[in-house]
């Protein structure tokens, strides 16, 4: 009888995949900044929009992956669903923090005396 249902080899492989994904550059702001041909220079609004679009795409992909898993798709594993969900959550939390900093900066500027 097998007492342990968790295979440590799979956990170590998943950790190494997460480390590799963390060091790999992804789309978003860097993709916009690396494309000087289209605009010449990148504005703040363009970078912010690209970042928000990336977070939105990540959340949609996570939701779609979760739906496929819930419907019983054999090609989707629980670990893929959880990793995708956590990536989307981290992206959303970062977006909320950026928004909070922008609102704070706006309020500071509006409170300045001329």
State the DSSP string of 58-110: HHHHHHHHHHHHHTT-TT--HHHHHHHHHHHHHHHHHHHHHHHHHHHHHHHHH
Domain membership flag for residue 73: yes
Domain membership flag for residue 74: yes
* pTM over cut 0.75: no
Domain membership flag for residue 108: yes
Domain membership flag for residue 65: yes
Please give the tally of structural domains in the chain. Answer: 1
Closest to 83 (Cα-Cα) out of 19, 37, 5, 2: 19
- pLDDT class for 31, splitting at 50, 70, 90? very low
Mean pLDDT across the chain: 81
Domain membership flag for residue 10: no
Domain membership flag for residue 68: yes
Highest mean pLDDT among 13-17, 35-39, 44-48, 59-63: 59-63
Domain membership flag for residue 34: no
| 55 close to 92: Cβ distance less than 8 angstroms | yes
């Amino acid at each position: 009888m097998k007492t342990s249902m968790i295979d440590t080899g799979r956990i170590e492989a998943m950790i190494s995949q997460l480390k590799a994904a963390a060091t790999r550059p992804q789309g978003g702001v860097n993709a916009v900044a690396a494309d000087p041909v289209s605009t010449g220079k990148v504005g703040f609004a363009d970078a912010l929009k690209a970042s928000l679009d990336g977070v939105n795409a990540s959340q949609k992909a996570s939701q779609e992956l979760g739906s496929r898993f819930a419907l019983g798709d054999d090609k989707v594993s629980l670990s893929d669903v959880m990793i995708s969900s956590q990536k989307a959550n981290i992206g959303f939390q970062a977006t909320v923090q950026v928004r909070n900093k922008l609102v704070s900066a706006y309020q500071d500027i509006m409170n300045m005396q001329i």
